[in-house]
Structures are given as C-alpha cells and as structure tokens.
Amino acid sequence: MNLLKKSLLAAGFCALTAQADVSYTPVNANATEGAQKLYNFLATNYGVKTVSGMMTGDVSSSTLKELPDVTEFYKKTGKYPALVGFDFLFATGVKASDDWYQSYTQMALEAAKDLWNQGGIPAFTWHWKDPSDQIDAFYTKSGNANEYTEFDFTQGFTDPSCTVNCTWNTSSETYQQLVNDIDEIADMFLGLQEAGVAAIFRPLHEASGKWFWWGSKGGAAFQALYNLVYDEMVSVKGVNNLVWVWNPEYSNDIGWNPGASKYDVISLDIYEAWDYSTKYTKAYSELLTNFGSDKILAVSENGSIPDISVMKANNIAWSWWMPWYQTWDGKFLDQTVDAVWKANLESACTISLENMPGWNSYTLSTSKVAACEAGYALGDLDTARAVEVVVPGDTATNGWLRASISTSATSDTAKGNVIIQSGSAIDLSTASTITFNVYNTNKLSGIWFTIAFLGNASTSWAWAQPDGCWIDAGDSTTCTIDLSTTAKDQVVLTGTDYTSFMSHISKVYIEIFAVGFNGDVYYDAVKTNTGVTINDFDNTAEKIEVEQAQNLSAQIIGLGKGLAIEKVASVANAVKMSVQNRTLSISVPKSGKANIALFDVTGHQVKSFNQGSLSAGEHQFNLSGIPQGNYILQVKGVGFSSTKSIRIQ
C-alpha cells in the first residue's frame, strides 16, 4: 500500500468520527425556521452526500435559471446546482449608490429568493469595499498594486497595536464606518428574512489572506472584526436567517479562529486540484486535526471539483463545493472535464437542484440520510485535459525566456530561481521599478512570480525580493515591480540600507512559485525605469541556469531557436492518451493520416511514433529507451488534434 493510500485511509477514519459529532441545530439560538431547516439539511447530509454549487459573476437577471453562470452549469452537466453563490461586491463602498451597482445587488437578492422558492440554497460572499469610501477597492497593495485600499480597521480599536483580545473604540470614526457598512448588509438580509428566505453567509473570506484589507492585520484583529460583523448583525440588527461560515485561507490558521459559537461551518477555498482528490483529502484531514470534528466542512470556492467517488472511498464527503464563476472570463467550469462532470452530477451522492426536497415540505431531523454509493470509479473515466501548446507570435524576430513547469498530484509545487543576470557588482540603486513582458500559456491556471536579488560579498550574500506579480490564466501583460517594497529577511529596505544593497547585487532572478501548474510561461524585456536592460533574451547562445529548481526548467527561445512545437489547437476528448508502465496507448476518433510525436519540456522532439495512415481506435507504442521524466505528447490528424503532458516512469 503506497503512502498516498495510507494517508487517504487515515483521513477517512477521522472523517467517520467527524460526521458523527456535528450538531443538528445552528449556533444562533434565535435562528428562523428557514435557517434551522437549511442548517439541518446540511447537517443530516454531511458525510453522506455533497451539495453541488455554482458561483455567479454576471448577474443580469433576477430569475435563477436565466443567470448566465447557472445556465452554463446546466450546459456542462445537464442539471442545475442546488447551491448558488452571490456577492455583495457592489453593495457597499464609494460607488454603491450608482444605478448599475444597485441593480446588480437587487437582482442578486431577487435571484436568491427565486432559488429558495425552488428549494435551493443561496450563499453570499462579501468582497467588502473600502469602508472609508476613499476608493472602490477591497484589495491591499499586495493584492492589486494598481487599485488598492489603505484602509486600516485597527484604527477602530482602543489599542491599534493589540495582539490579543482587541477591543473597539465605539466612538472612533473607523468603528462607525465599519458598522455603517455592516448595517447595510444586515438590512439586505433582513429583507430576505421578511420574505422567509434563509441563506449561507461567508463574511471576511480567506481570513489570513493579506491581499484583502481584513486579512492584513493579524489573527487577533481579524477575530475582533469577524465578531463585530456577527454581533452587529445577529444581536443588534436581528438577522437570524443565516448559516454562518468561517473561511480560513489555510487549514492551519488556528490563530484566526473567531470562536466556534459564531459559525456553523468551516470552509476552505481549494483551487488547482487537478486530480480531483489529493488536495481535497489532505485539506479535510488537516481541518479535522486543527479544528476538531464538531463543525461541518465545506469547499467554498474551487476550480476543478472534488470527485465524489474518491471522497466516498475514503469516507469523506464535503458538505458542498462551488466552482467560481464561468462568466467574467473566469471559465472555472472548464477546469473539470466532461466525463468527471457527468459522473459526479449523475451520482446518487451528489445533490442537484432537481433532487432537493423543497423547503415547505422539509422536516427537521436528528438522523443522517440513507447511505449512498457513488456508482462509478474515477479511474474508469477519461480525465485527460486538452493542453494547448503555444509560443509567442513574434519568435521569428524576438527572443523570449521560456520557463517550463510540470507538476504532479503528489508533488504539485513548482519553484525555481531563474538567473537572468549575473556579475561581480550590478548596480540598481537608482532604479525604482522593473518592468517585463509576461505571457502565461496555461489557460486554466494563473501564476505568481517576482524579481529577486542576491547581494555580493559586500552584503554578506544577502537575499532580497520585492512584491511580486500575478498573471491570470492564458493572459499576457506587462508586469511592473515596485522596488520600494524590496525586503531582506522580511524587512523592507529603506534609505541607505536600500541603496547599499541595491548597488552590490551579484545576481538577478525571476523567482517562480506555482502550485499545481503545468505549462509554459514566457518572459521578455526585463528593464528598469532608468533605462537599464537586465535581459532582453535576444542572445540565443546564452545558457539560462536555475537554482533550487523543482519541476522547472528554462531556456531562451526565438530568433529561430527552440521552436519544435508550434501553436496547436487542441480538441478536448477527440483523442484519448494514457501511459501504463512503458506502454503508450492512444485512441484516435477516425482513420486517416496521423502524426504522433513526443517532445521534451523545452519543445524539442524526442521521438516520432507515427507519420502515416492510422486506423480508428486504440493503438499501443513501446516507450523503451526513453528516459524517465515529463514530456509533451502531440497527436494530429485530419479533423482532430490533441496535446497532453505525460509522465514516463
């Protein structure tokens, strides 16, 4: 039995205990009848069945089944989600009175009513815009350097530097700003309450995430803010129609726990779980270890979904999952392949809107629902994702740095420090920014990176780095790095400390950190605002080195070099490819000429398996003699084309 199976079985054993310890009544003793039913439904199904969900981005209708994200979910699965997410993104803040903002929020509230009346579950998130109404933003500078708030909610404390038991100065302007916004959201929930509608509420989400202003001041401050939201809504305003969710960013955020009496559910946001299982089982086990077994556990945001067959096999069933929106260029539904969608939504253990009981007829219970069988095994499905292998369009005349990243389910963190300039003493002391062009060819995953510096002997070979840059899936952009954020040993360098360090640099790096990422990221034209070109990657003879690399390689391509792979439009599910031991199995949809070739991660062809006619159906090829490693397999024929990253053991 391998280590993964052992860990999954251990998680399953813990899960059996967890599911038995959950209360059947919500933490709010004054919960409305609807909130009691909603929570009880979640509790009685928890550990047995999982509720399907879908987040909304574009809310262009007040009718549930006309919401674009809901209709896209139906197109993918043939069913409607039982849970639908809405966002108070435009409900508060400096622009909340704008007609479009008000229309968006009102349609979301009306759609929530429609969902409830059809027996579904509304779930609300609140991207809380700057309460001081200075800017229409909720990110801190580390979350979005172009549009961010500097709102500091600790100025509402009696002691802004508190590290435990923070108390509010109720006469402060900051406190009043917070309460005013909380009251506005409370009034919206009261409107739902008057209509007999209950909902799930996840305030201050991704608790320790420093990219949000509410997560930037430490655990004690967050706890006080969460409790303010709960107490103001429940005890002061009388909002009793909610199931409350605490959403830590990490499964070990113990110091951010606002107190078990103030929430019903603990949830995590889990992205890039490409095998539909490993991250989900690991996170479940960690939550049980760190927070006990008396709370429902849910997935409040995700890309690819947790596979119910794997979860059931390990006695784990998250209460619900909710892919982020498909609209607004999110395309998170696409991160689960069609076969997995079909199997999960047709499983007796997954709850869709079509098999919800209806709130008028629902009766409270203190017993779990009847056991169910998933009805399939993930390993029997075609889970391959089509991969589009691309290079920038100007490589005939321009050089690029290509960072090739390949990860797996059991080792899913890619990282490496790519050296882009080295010398005895590089002086960047007069520069304030560094810009460079970036192209992320992975259409499913975003990626984070930054510039980093190694000082020379004059700095005792110290390491420093500024805030980084995030690029969305499939996007190209110019990143601007603010060098005033450069920190050594987590302390931002200023004054003479900054100039002394930046004038004695021995190496400049692009530092890459990516979880679950597979694909190529291209970099070009790394320059300072003072006109210094650190590297334009036009010297194709230059050998690019990486340090402390894991699942990452880099090379210069362009100007005629390294272009063995051209842009390929992949057709999902047209070709099936798998590797078992040293045998490659390929199934093509129709007869005709077909080219089958294997490339290494730098884009150079390793082997050609077929360049002529091929009959429809499955064919097998011997991989003997090919070194162990990660490769790109490309199959092209008349009317079909597919590319896939494979691992040869």
Structure letter (DSSP) for residue 256:
G
Q: How far does Cα 219 stand from its chain's mean position?
A: 22
CA distance 444 to 11: 28
Q: Is the Cβ–Cβ distance between 293 and 16 less than 8 Å? A: no
Collect all residues with Cβ–Cβ distance below 8 Å to 158 and sequence separation of at least 6: 166, 167, 168, 169
Q: Which of 206, 232, 249, 272 is catalytic?
A: 206
| Closest C-alpha among 389, 421, 387, 385 to residue 402 | 389
Active site residue 545: no
Residues listed for the chain: 649
* Residue 296, φ and ψ in degrees, nearest 5: -65, 140
Helix 173-194 and helix 99-117, axial crossing angle in degrees, nearest 10: 40
Active site residue 618: no
Collect all residues with Cβ–Cβ distance below 8 Å to 281 and sequence separation of at least 6: 7, 8, 11, 310, 311, 314, 316
| CA dihedral of 177, 180, 182, 184, whole degrees rounded to 10 | -140
Give the pair of three-digit tokens for residue 313: 């096999």
CA distance 486 to 494: 9
- Say which residue the tokens 């059809």 belong to: 118
Q: Which of 232, 249, 301, 511 is catalytic?
A: 301
- Say which residue the tokens 């400390």 belong to: 497
Q: SS3 of 104, please?
A: helix
- Say which residue the tokens 């709102």 belong to: 151
Q: Which burial class, exposed, middle or buried, applies to 579 when counting CB atoms under 10 A from its CB (0-12, 13-18, 19+)?
A: middle
Q: Which burial class, exposed, middle or buried, applies to 460 when counting CB atoms under 10 A from its CB (0-12, 13-18, 19+)?
A: exposed
Annotated catalytic residues are: 206, 301
